[in-house]
């Protein structure tokens, strides 16, 4: 069994990874722990700012990899069939693409509740993946991480 655990760092990645590891252990599976850095849209009149974005993205990818490896170390313990993935782009489309590229059996994502106009304006990535993915999606309610 192959599981894609999509983790956002503002939520509780330890909860999502913990569930993915628990399922993977039970079914002798592999976990892909994925974090997507949302890309800023390219606008023609901001073309001169593109090099700044590329520099930021490069350092953000390194930082995100360090952070996801830290979560893996803290969560997976003796489970070693887990691979980190850092990607850049629109989160729901990158998660769906990664699930298809790796032919996963299950996508696990966290979701939190938005209400009213905030929900209408910010349709979250989990809802988009549930609607568009061709694979089963396990959606886990998580509170936003408070540091």
The tokens for 46 are 């901001």
Q: Which pLDDT does position 147 carry in this prediction?
A: 47
What is the pTM assigned to this prediction? 0.84
Domain that holds residue 83: 2-141
Q: Is residue 146 part of a domain?
A: no
In tens, the pLDDT along 93-141 reads 999 999 999 999 999 998 866 555 554 445 578 888 989 999 999 999 8
State the total domains in the chain.
1
Rounded to an integer, what distance in angstroms lies between the CA atom of residue 120 and that of residue 118?
5
The CATH number that applies at residue 96 is 3.40.50.620
Please list, in sequence order, all residues whose beta carbon lies within 8 angstroms of the beta carbon of residue 145, skipping any fewer than 6 positions away: 9, 10, 11, 12
Q: How many CB atoms lie within 10 A of CB 102?
A: 16
Q: Which pLDDT does position 125 carry in this prediction?
A: 84
Q: Is residue 71 part of a domain?
A: yes
The tokens for 78 are 């003796």
The closest of 3, 2, 10, 1 to 125, measured between CA atoms, is 10
Rounded to an integer, what distance in angstroms lies between the CA atom of residue 80 and that of residue 78?
6
How sure is the predictor about 67, in pLDDT bands with cuts at 50, 70 and 90?
A: very high
Q: Which pLDDT does position 77 carry in this prediction?
A: 87
Quick one: CA dihedral 2, 74, 11, 63, positive or negative?
negative
Rounded to an integer, what distance in angstroms lies between the CA atom of residue 52 and that of residue 71?
28
Q: Is residue 147 part of a domain?
A: no
DSSP, collapsed to helix, strand or coil, labels residue 109 as: strand
Average pLDDT, the chain: 85
In tens, the pLDDT along 18-65 reads 999 999 999 999 999 999 998 766 655 566 667 777 778 888 899 999
Q: Is residue 73 part of a domain?
A: yes
């Amino acid at each position: 069994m192959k599981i894609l655990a999509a983790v956002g760092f503002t939520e509780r990645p330890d909860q999502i990874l913990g569930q993915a590891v628990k399922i993977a252990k039970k079914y002798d599976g592999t976990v892909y722990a994925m974090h997507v850095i949302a890309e800023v849209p390219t606008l023609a009149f901001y073309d001169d700012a593109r090099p700044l974005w590329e520099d930021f993205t490069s350092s953000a990818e390194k930082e995100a990899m360090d952070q996801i490896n830290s979560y893996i170390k803290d969560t997976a313990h003796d489970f070693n069939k887990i691979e980190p993935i850092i990607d850049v782009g629109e989160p729901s489309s990158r998660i769906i693409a990664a699930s298809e590229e790796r032919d996963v059996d299950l996508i696990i994502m966290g979701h939190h509740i938005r209400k009213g106009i905030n929900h209408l304006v910010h349709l979250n990535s989990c809802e988009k993946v549930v609607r568009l993915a061709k694979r089963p999606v396990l959606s886990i309610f998580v509170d936003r991480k408070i540091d």
